[in-house]
Amino acid sequence: MTISTNKTGEAESTQTGGAIADALTLMRFFLTPIIMIIIIKGWPDLNMAILATFLLIFAAMTDFFDDYFGGTERAPHRKFGWFDDIADIILVLGVLLAMTYVVYKANMLNWIFALPVGIIILREVLVGLLKGYDMTKSGWPETKFGSLKNGLSMLAACLLVASPWITTWIDSLISGKDNIDALMSTSPYVWMIGQGILWFAALISILTGFKILTTKAVAANDI
């Protein structure tokens, strides 16, 4: 009887963890349009950039905690585990699209920024959504390079969104100026670092995307 009780308790705990994980996954999805609106309406205003940054960091952290509470995307006690990868894709693409829009509106869009964004978006549309769909059927575990690509994309997005207030803060510390004076003479290093990381993510996106597509083609020919 004790063993039965323990098994029941473990099952309930597992189901609770799965429910928490699903809630975190869905939270990441619903936070995406909010972050996009804040960026489009308010960036690069410092207060709005800070708000968007911390919401983005919180959304990114839900990706870690949903795995912590509920296990992998393929865990049987997760009803929305299949949506985990798709929520990641939507978050990264949504932030990059919003940033592309505001940079374009500010007449600052150039190929150095647009090209890696375009590569990542194209890769995620062609491969990421396909991957998310296949995971609902048979599972498609993430590779180390795929995880690195996701991490670099998110880090780049966070730095680009946060660049106005981080740059102002750094410049004010170095120059001793107040925030307003520093804002008028900010250095581009934070933005450049974000763009550099974005390029690394784009290159890895090409490699992993090609590997997944070729693997998929081979599997289709074997059927």
Kindly list the domain boundaries of the chain, sorted by start residue.
2-222
Closest CA to 89 of 35, 125, 117: 125
The residue that leads in pLDDT, 55 or 25, is: 55
pLDDT beyond 50 at 102: yes
Q: How far, in Å, CA of 29 to CA of 105, rounded?
A: 26
Supply 51's token pair.
């708000």
Predicted TM-score of the model (pTM): 0.79
Q: 198 with 153: CB under 8 angstroms? A: yes
Predicted local distance difference test score (pLDDT) of residue 145:
78
Confidence (pLDDT) at 126:
79
| Whole-number pLDDT of residue 10 | 46
Out of 19-28, 82-91, 93-102, give the one with best mean pLDDT: 93-102
Interval 205-210 mean pLDDT: 86
What confidence category does residue 110 fall into, taking pLDDT thresholds of 50, 70 and 90? very high
Task: List, for residues 133-189, the tens digit of each pLDDT value.
Answer: 555 554 445 567 777 888 899 999 999 999 999 988 877 776 655 544 544 445 688
Alpha-carbon torsion angle 151, 157, 163, 166, nearest 10: -40
CA distance 53 to 161: 6
- pLDDT band with cut points at 50, 70 and 90 for residue 117: very high
Of residues 36 and 15, more confidently modeled = 36
Q: What is the pLDDT of residue 201?
A: 95
Angle at the Cα of 181 from the Cα atoms of 180 and 185, rounded to 5 degrees: 115
Residue with more model confidence, 159 or 69: 159
Higher pLDDT, 160 or 88: 160
Contact 18, 77 (CB under 8 A): yes
65 has a pLDDT exceeding 50: yes
Alpha-carbon distance of 126 to 115, in angstroms, equals: 16
